[in-house]
Amino acid sequence: MQVSLRVNGEERRHDVEPRLLLVHYLRDVCGLTGTNIGCDTSSCGACTVLVDGESVKSCTMLAVQADGREVTTIEGLADGERLHPVQEAFREHHGLQCGYCTPGMVMAAVSLLNEHPHPTEAEVREGLEGNLCRCTGYHNIVKAVLAAAEAGASQPVGAAR
């Protein structure tokens, strides 16, 4: 089946198997390996990307379902050399260790802040419940997201650029 979509602002057109998951499309067809896979039960959120600006676990979506839409992955988040405020906050506050959950976590946080520009700590924790991290104990991730909110991170990503 034909899909045509924008990934990180770039037009992509491919002939794909109907059963191909979006995460495999991104990793294996587009070569964007920043998006990771951490489970087979849609539990971990390592595969989270933005589709039309909203976070989606890309292992729960078929590539063909992304037809005509705008997908943003971790590779497309920074503005050239300038980190997105969420990326900047993760670095500043040590919100990552092994980095495996990080692309998904950052995308989930970006989406969370778009919806709730000024979340409470509890709202951040609720909002990230579907994204697992084994390294950080979430402490610095939560801190980073709150700091990013403070810095005004809720700027539209993807479609707007």
Cβ 48 to ligand FES shortest distance, Å: 7
H helices, E strands: number in the chain:
5, 5
Contact map string, positions 47 to 76, toward another protein, x by CB under 8 A: ---------------------------xx-
103-132 residues in contact with ligand FES (CB under 6 A) are none
**3-state class of 111 per DSSP?**
helix
Q: What are phi and psi of 83, to 5 degrees?
A: -65, 145
| Residue 98 binds ligand FES (CB under 6 A) | yes
Cβ 138 to ligand FES shortest distance, Å: 9
| Residue 90 binds another protein (CB under 8 A) | yes
- For ligand FES, which is the closer residue by CB, 136 or 154? 136
- Look up residue 63 and give its DSSP letter: G
| Residue 101 binds another protein (CB under 8 A) | yes
Cβ 29 to another protein shortest distance, Å: 12
Cβ 57 vs Cβ 47: under 8 Å: yes
The string of DSSP codes covering 101-128 is: SHHHHHHHHHHHHHH-SS--HHHHHHHT
Which residues lie near ligand FES (CB under 6 A)? Answer: 37-39, 42-47, 57, 59, 96-102, 133-136
